[in-house]
Amino acid sequence: RGHAGPKGQKGSVGAPGERCKSHYAAFSVGRKKPLHSNDYYQTLIFDTEFVNLYDHFNMFTGKFYCYVPGIYYFSLNVHTWNQKETYLHIVRNGAEVVILYAQVSDRSIMQSQSVMLELREQDEVWDKGERENAVFSDEYDTYITFSGHLVK
């Protein structure tokens, strides 16, 4: 290969490219009914929809379905019941990821748990109530919330 030749003239401007496509995913749901589990585990079903962009959260199954892969932030907030244990998990594809736990107490408290998860398309995330525990709520206020959104 020989020496580089002289610099050529500047070329003409090309056609504009396509705009970057932005992908979004976000939901925030609540539950006004108290939760009393019996001898079985149960998926939390929510009755109030605050935000559900593109319906990625299914109100009938209580699950978030990932259509946009990436890093997600999830949070679960509950109000404990006096003299009852509160024991929930945030679950991904059937595997318990993090726990929200409150011991039996004379007073109720607000309790929360959050986690960031890397999700692939078709992953599922939901909340699971453990056996023999309770979460407080009533028909007037929303004491139980579950939210998630795509970070990157």
> Is 137 a residue whose pLDDT tops 90?
no
Q: In the prediction, which pLDDT does 13 show?
A: 86
Q: Are strands 70-79 and 144-150 parallel, antiparallel or unpaired?
A: antiparallel
Q: Is residue 50 part of a domain?
A: yes
As for how many domains the chain has, the answer is: 1
Q: In the prediction, which pLDDT does 147 show?
A: 98
User: Looking at residues 94-115, what average pLDDT do you find?
Assistant: 90
Q: In the prediction, which pLDDT does 81 show?
A: 82
Q: Is residue 51 part of a domain?
A: yes
User: Looking at residues 96-125, what average pLDDT do you find?
Assistant: 93
Q: Is residue 136 part of a domain?
A: yes
Residue 144 CA to residue 138 CA, distance in Å, equals 10
Q: What is the pTM of this model?
A: 0.83
User: Looking at residues 115-124, what average pLDDT do you find?
Assistant: 98
Q: Is residue 9 part of a domain?
A: no
Dihedrals phi, psi of 91, to nearest 5 degrees:
-120, 140
Q: Is residue 20 part of a domain?
A: no
Q: Is residue 11 part of a domain?
A: no
User: Looking at residues 35-43, what average pLDDT do you find?
Assistant: 73
Domain housing 130: 26-150
Q: Is residue 12 part of a domain?
A: no
User: Looking at residues 73-82, what average pLDDT do you find?
Assistant: 92
> Is 8 a residue whose pLDDT tops 70?
yes
Q: Is residue 14 part of a domain?
A: no
